[in-house]
A and B are shown apart, each in its own frame.
Chain A
Amino acid sequence: MIEAQALSKRYGAKAAVDSVSFTVHPGKVTGFLGPNGAGKSTTMRMIMGLDNPSGGRVTVNGRPYAQHRAPLREVGALLDAKAVHTKRSAYNHLRAMAATHGIPDSRVREVIELTGLGSVAKKRVGGFSLGMGQRLGIAAALLGDPHTVILDEPVNGLDPEGVQWVRHLANGLASEGRTVFLSSHLMSEMALTADHLIVIGRGRIIADAPIQSIIDGQGKARVRVRVDRPQDLLGSLAGEGVTSQVLEPELVEITGVEPRRIAEVALRERVLVYELTPLQVSLEDAYMQLTQTEVEYQSHDLPLTPATPDMQQVPAHMEGR
């Protein structure tokens, strides 16, 4: 269980995290979704006690991280893949971390096997690929068999097999009753892995809801229609608050009206409809809609920011730290 209350982090005048409150519950995978620079990593570093909040507080399993007697047994975290001395071997890195908690070598070997690092465990971490670095970071997170697992962009750099492995791991940990909190900017990945979503943009929580309700709530009916005279059909629908996009001469995508209504209008207008496909709103679309509002809202304060939503607007140092 992770609880944040009015948690803020400011760097000078810029608020990387702006008074966010949320709760991450055990027993399910909670996704932490947001564009680059939205404040995901900063929030996670504050949870782990590495950054001091400028305001508010955050607790893990009931108390601030640093106040746990055996922090690695409470929380395991992958914050960035290469939080490792490059000249040390993976095995020795894990051994040094385990030693702080009296975790036996047998557990070190266990997590090495679990993460599939067996063949490279004795090699220098400096030579690791991004994917192997991620696996080592996950191995370190699991060392203490923790109640709460925090993974920052765990699938970055992983091959498809690795991505699937992380997905199964996250779901497996959640089904054992643990709290699983993982961040990503990959919406498609979240759709497959997370049960619950917390969406952050520009340091603020935009949405905090079960994943299905985010998809449903943001989704307006969207229908793909093949029709012989699109202009006539769209003309007749114009009064009903629809938006449309002509993709091909006879193919349009209509948003904001049910398929049945389109068929009725087509029948009345005597246009020929030869395809009428309701489209499911993807999480990606829902996410774009959520974050766009946030960016547009912000742009009033910042006249220099272009009005078009641009995910790269936030200075890089906020994300890279």
Chain B
Amino acid sequence: MATSTPQAPARQRPRQEQLPGVTFGRVLKSEWIKVTTVPSTVILIVTTIVVMVGIAALLAWQTTFLFDAQSNPDMAAQMQAQGAPDAAEISRDIPGSGLIFGQLLMASLAVVLIASEWGTGMIRSTMVAVPNRTSALLAKQLIMAAVSFLVGAGSALIGYVVAQPILDTAELGFSLDADGALLHIINTGSVLALVSVFAMSVGTLIRNTAGGVVTSIGVLLVLPILVAIFGGGTEWVADAARFLPSSGGEQMVATTIQDGDLNQWQGSLVLGGWALVLLAASLLVTKKRDI
């Protein structure tokens, strides 16, 4: 074996002093560049906002019909007997009424953002540039959660603004300081942020786009339907169902809390708990496994 080892030229050392290495802020910037430079991501975000605002407008319009019907006393009595909601009460739920679709799209996006890195091999570039896997994943989570929050709260706010003139035609308009109205709008964003953390963690664990989307949508949106269909009669199932992530999210955006239901903050603990547990699991597993 040859033993001569020429010294590297000294010129490279000082440059490293001037340009220190990886910081969390820089990783955040890198993840932001990644989100904004894949066209389909941007399209999906815009679509989510359009759909959520559209649903709010549509529901506002529909609520005016309900109001018209209920202003006829005979009709109102009949509808109340059937358990129809009060128009004024449900109108405050309108801004964030597209939340289910928002969850569907943002959860999918969250899975795609991480799982596509495994699918394309990009993850190796990511982890070579940022060998601290936890900070690489946290930066991606943080960017996606922030985007989701802004999409959710922004859509709800726009939905509120768009819905007011429609609701005003039926004396159903309300101001932002009405009971629970502002919290509803903010929490529409919070739910999407927590849902995206949940979904991205699932995507990190499964490392596969299709599997990650099916799993996270299954748990978030399909499981509650199954529980409602098959578990309706059983008391413990109904009791446990309150602690599904979807139930937590529902309570977070509720404008009226029924007796015995969790309130907004308890709801956020449920959904937040799920998100945190999965996040922790995904960080631990990624740290141990090979990339």
| Residues of A near any B CB (own CB < 8 A) | 1, 25-28, 45, 48-52, 65-66, 68-73, 77, 79-80, 82-89, 92-93, 95-97, 99-103, 140, 145, 147, 176-178, 196, 208-210, 321
Contacts of B2 in A (CB 8 A): 25, 28, 196, 209-210
Whether A71 contacts B290 by the Cβ 8 Å rule is no
Whether A177 contacts B33 by the Cβ 8 Å rule is no
Whether B128 contacts A89 by the Cβ 8 Å rule is no
Whether A140 contacts B125 by the Cβ 8 Å rule is yes
Q: Encode contact with A along B114-126: 1 for CB under 8 Å, 0 otherwise.
A: 0011001111110
Chain A nearest CB from B275 CB (Å) reads 25
Known contacts A85-B38, A96-B34, then 20 further A-B pairs from the complex at CB < 8 Å, ordered by chain A residue = A25-B2, A26-B6, A27-B5, A27-B8, A45-B290, A45-B291, A49-B131, A52-B288, A65-B131, A70-B22, A71-B128, A73-B21, A77-B128, A80-B121, A85-B34, A87-B40, A92-B33, A96-B37, A100-B27, A210-B1
Q: Complex: how many Å from CA A163 to CA B15?
A: 31
Chain B residue with minimal CB distance to A11?
Answer: B290
Query: In chain B, residues 22-60, which have Cβ atoms closer than 8 Å to a Cβ of chain A?
Result: 22-23, 26-27, 29-31, 33-34, 37-40
- Secondary structure at the A interface, as helix, strand, loop or mixed, is loop
Whether B20 contacts A70 by the Cβ 8 Å rule is yes
Contacts of B40 in A (CB 8 A): 87
* Most chain A Cβ neighbours within 10 Å, of B31, B38, B131: B131
Whether A51 contacts B291 by the Cβ 8 Å rule is yes
Q: Complex: how many Å from CA A314 to CA B276?
A: 42
Whether B22 contacts A52 by the Cβ 8 Å rule is no
Contacts of B124 in A (CB 8 A): 50, 79-80, 83
Chain A residue with minimal CB distance to B21?
Answer: A70
- Identify B20's interface contact among A49, A65, A69, A77, CB under 8 A: A69
B7 contacts A by Cβ under 8 Å: yes
B146 contacts A by Cβ under 8 Å: no
Number of interface residues of B (CB under 8 A): 44
Q: Complex: how many Å from CA A140 to CA B121?
A: 14
Q: List 22 A-B contacts (CB under 8 A).
A: A26-B6, A27-B5, A50-B290, A50-B291, A68-B131, A71-B22, A71-B129, A72-B21, A73-B16, A77-B128, A82-B121, A83-B123, A86-B120, A87-B38, A100-B22, A100-B29, A100-B130, A102-B26, A145-B12, A147-B12, A196-B2, A210-B2
Whether B8 contacts A101 by the Cβ 8 Å rule is no
Contacts of B27 in A (CB 8 A): 100
Q: Complex: how many Å from CA A93 to CA B116?
A: 14
Chain A residue with minimal CB distance to B131?
Answer: A66
Q: Complex: how many Å from CA A99 to CA B5?
A: 33
Contacts of B178 in A (CB 8 A): none
Contacts of A65 in B (CB 8 A): 131
Contacts of A210 in B (CB 8 A): 1-2
Whether B26 contacts A100 by the Cβ 8 Å rule is yes
* Most chain A Cβ neighbours within 10 Å, of B33, B125, B291: B125
Say yes or no: A51-B290 contact (C-beta < 8 A), given A25-B5, A70-B19: yes
Contacts of B9 in A (CB 8 A): 176-177
- Identify B30's interface contact among A25, A70, A79, A96, CB under 8 A: A96
Q: Complex: how many Å from CA A98 to CA B289?
A: 25
Whether A83 contacts B122 by the Cβ 8 Å rule is yes
Whether A70 contacts B128 by the Cβ 8 Å rule is no
Chain B residue with minimal CB distance to A95?
Answer: B33
